[in-house]
Structure 1
Amino acid sequence: MKKKWKVFSAAVAVSCIALIAGCSGDKEVSGGGGKESVSVVLKTLSSPYWKYVEAGAKAAGKELGVDVNVVGPNAESEVMQQINMIEDQLSQSPGALVVSPSQPDTVVPALEAANVPVLLIDTDADVKNKITFIGTENYEAGQEGGKLLASMLQKGDKVALISGALGNTATDERIKGAKEALKEAGMEIVAEQPADSDKTKAISVMENILQKHSDIKGVFSANDDMALGVLRAVEAKGLDVKVIGTDGTKEAVESILAGKLAGTIAQSPYDMGYEGVKNALEAIKGKKVEKRINSGVDIITKENAKEKLEFLESISK
């Protein structure tokens, strides 16, 4: 499968390269120097995936002349820290708020208290004052991951599912989609365990699963960090297990090229960040914004991983 990944403009890519180098844990970052301001609150800034989202948001700010503040908790599981960040950003009176809620139901009250346009990216939530949702159809992404894994196995093979933090609807939906596709293909799902979207936790979780099911042939992981952790546990046992991740991070794509990770279902986090800020500006100006914007997915295997890696390197140097 060959696909050309889009970059909104050469100027955007160049500005992104310069800006992403300054990303840091949970520190606020600004850029753009414009009259309008947009606050972006992500699930975390501690993983490559969210740095791509940040890069896209900041690149849009640079190109469109918008002041963009990007913040995120130390980890996706820090739900209360994210709520505090949302409240803090709103206290600074931005023109609009772009959020990727870690635990949607929990953050709804904070979002509905906003008196500015609210846009959601990556993970949707039932928020009354929401302008739009921009992101992947996570159930669809999971289904594609399940189908890809099943295509590499035999009917009746045993597989495991590694989910994210409890209550994270994005990873929950991916697992639901993968589970349906794997069952339809005749796979036997022998384990489903959360690893909080954390590579180290995924190693431990997979080690425990292998103690009971050493004959597992495949694993679907709801994100790439966990998939890489699963892979490490499998390799330590010297087993041949096909591992499929989700997100399309640089580390995952490099692993695919090295013949280790079997594949990943790549989202477009850069596009989510860019479109989040772009549409936030449209909302500030009172212009119409589509209620739902699908940023799509790409199936990455060794066949097209080199092209994907080149794109990721172009926005992360």
Structure 2
Amino acid sequence: MRITTRRTTTHTPRRGAALTVAACAALVLTLTACGQEGGSGNGSGKAAAPPAADNKAKVCLVMKSLGNEYFQSMQKGAEQHAKELGTVDLTSVGIQNETDIDGQVAAIDKCITQKARALVIAPADSKALIAPIKRAASAGLKIVNIDVKLDDGGLKSAGLDVPFVGPDNTDGAKQSGTKLVEALGPGAKVVILEGNPGAANAEQRKAGFQAAVTEGKLTLLDSKTAHWETDEAYTVVSNMLTAHPDIQGVLASNDSMALGALKAIKAAGKDKRIKLASFDNIEAIAPFVQDGSVVATIDQFPSKQAGDGIDQALKLLSGQPVTGWIKTDIKVVTKAG
């Protein structure tokens, strides 16, 4: 098994591959060898590039920042899944930070140059990545979208039919936010830390938090982006605490930002008075869930999600139709379990 990876920075291994997946992968290789690969898929009018020299399906996984523990887990899960399949030549790559759209564009172009047969992508921006993805599809790559949904209008304009493998972010954020409502009670004053503007999951999580705030009759004082980043969240929340010294709760759209918020809250001497709800369930947030600082986070199983994306790419390569939303699991994580 040959796996090549490039990490821009330095959770659990995925379960064993199902026999149907292995059979699907075998079918990919058989059809390719006979020159009978299925339809173009993903809106492409060209045949897929030849397989890797060792007869394994060459798949590119393009993620967001590998400085984020969430995507480190995704990468490990994908590599483990590829190893278990034994029929995939996986290249996994991340970007420098959560807003490095140019880095993802360069990674996609490299996948095309290296004659990958499929691209599995967690886009940093739901609209800006459509043009390079269109280039990849036109070069014959099968495309699978994971984690952050690409913009439907942009896909339609580009003539692309790209399946999405990912969770219900709105529902997850609402469930997490509802736990904060239960902890604080009606009338409590809260703020929201948003993800990247332009990213569908950022908009969906904000909507889910807002729904919890409205239904729980909380008072929303402010809502600002920290671009998914810990350091930026520290600055944003520090400024919020100055402007609104009576904040009682923070709704953070990911755990990385929650960590920055916790640091700012502690620096202000308010760590015993302000509660958080978050999203992602990275290992670094676990101690704060256990001590009650974070009342809830959402596990969306990134390592399994990446493997599921690879499985769907193999189905496309075998000529099977894959379309629409393949919904993945979420779980509310609290101190109670």
Please, what TM-score do these two structures have when normalized by structure 1? Answer: 0.84
TM superposition shift of 1:84: 1.4
Q: Do structure 1's residue 116 and structure 2's residue 137 form an aligned pair?
A: no
AA partner of residue 58 (structure 1)? E
For 2:129 and 2:323, locate their aligned partners in 1 and report how far apart those are by CA, in whole Å.
23
Q: Do structure 1's residue 9 and structure 2's residue 16 form an aligned pair?
A: yes
For 1:285 and 1:254, locate their aligned partners in 2 and report how far apart those are by CA, in whole Å.
44
C-alpha offsets along residues 189-223 of structure 1, whole Å, 9 cap, x if unaligned? 00101111111111111010001111111110000
The answer for the alignment partner of 1:173 in structure 2 is 204
Trace 1:108-147 onto structure 2 (pairs within 5 A).
108-114=130-136, 115-125=140-150, 126=152, 127=155, 128-147=159-178
Q: Do structure 1's residue 282 and structure 2's residue 306 form an aligned pair?
A: no
The answer for the alignment partner of 2:262 in structure 1 is 231
The answer for the alignment partner of 2:240 in structure 1 is 209
For 2:206 and 2:63, locate their aligned partners in 1 and report how far apart those are by CA, in whole Å.
21
TM superposition shift of 1:291: 2.6
Q: Compared with structure 1, are the counterparts of its residues 82 and 171 closer, same or farther at alpha carbon in structure 2 (3 Å cutoff)? A: same
For 2:171 and 2:222, locate their aligned partners in 1 and report how far apart those are by CA, in whole Å.
21
TM superposition shift of 1:238: 2.3
Q: Which of 61, 68, 73 in structure 1 is aligned with 2:90?
A: 68
Give the 3-state SS of the residue equivalent to 2:60 in structure 1: strand
Q: Which has the greater radius of gyration?
A: 2
Root-mean-square deviation (CA, aligned residues, Å) is 1.9
Q: Do structure 1's residue 59 and structure 2's residue 90 form an aligned pair?
A: no
TM superposition shift of 1:286: 1.2
The answer for the alignment partner of 1:252 in structure 2 is 285
Q: Do structure 1's residue 191 and structure 2's residue 213 form an aligned pair?
A: no
For 2:82 and 2:277, locate their aligned partners in 1 and report how far apart those are by CA, in whole Å.
34
AA partner of residue 124 (structure 1)? K
For 2:264 and 2:295, locate their aligned partners in 1 and report how far apart those are by CA, in whole Å.
15
Q: Do structure 1's residue 105 and structure 2's residue 127 form an aligned pair?
A: yes
For 1:297 and 1:34, locate their aligned partners in 2 and report how far apart those are by CA, in whole Å.
35
TM superposition shift of 1:133: 0.5
For 2:203 and 2:209, locate their aligned partners in 1 and report how far apart those are by CA, in whole Å.
10
The answer for the alignment partner of 1:17 in structure 2 is none
C-alpha offsets along residues 115-161 of structure 1, whole Å, 9 cap, x if unaligned? 22100000111334344111111111121122111111121110000
TM superposition shift of 1:288: 3.4
C-alpha offsets along residues 226-281 of structure 1, whole Å, 9 cap, x if unaligned? 00111111122222111111101011123212443222112111111111112211
Contact 1:120 1:130 in 2 (8 A): no
C-alpha offsets along residues 277-316 of structure 1, whole Å, 9 cap, x if unaligned? 1221121111233532111211111111xxxxxxxxxxxx
The answer for the alignment partner of 1:297 in structure 2 is 330
Contact 1:117 1:129 in 2 (8 A): no
Give the 3-state SS of the residue equivalent to 1:247 in structure 2: coil
AA partner of residue 300 (structure 1)? V
Task: Give ranges in structure 1 of 5+ residues lacking alignment.
Answer: 12-32, 305-317
TM superposition shift of 1:10: 9.7
The answer for the alignment partner of 1:45 in structure 2 is 66
The answer for the alignment partner of 1:91 in structure 2 is 113
AA partner of residue 229 (structure 1)? G
For 2:57 and 2:17, locate their aligned partners in 1 and report how far apart those are by CA, in whole Å.
23
- Give identity over the alignment, percent: 29
TM superposition shift of 1:7: 4.5
Contact 2:60 2:118 in 1 (8 A): yes
Contact 2:14 2:80 in 1 (8 A): no
AA partner of residue 121 (structure 1)? I
For 1:236 and 1:113, locate their aligned partners in 2 and report how far apart those are by CA, in whole Å.
47
TM superposition shift of 1:165: 2.1
The answer for the alignment partner of 1:266 in structure 2 is 299
The answer for the alignment partner of 2:48 in structure 1 is none
The answer for the alignment partner of 2:6 in structure 1 is none
Contact 1:38 1:68 in 2 (8 A): yes
TM superposition shift of 1:91: 1.6
| Greater displacement, 52-61 / 285-294 | 285-294
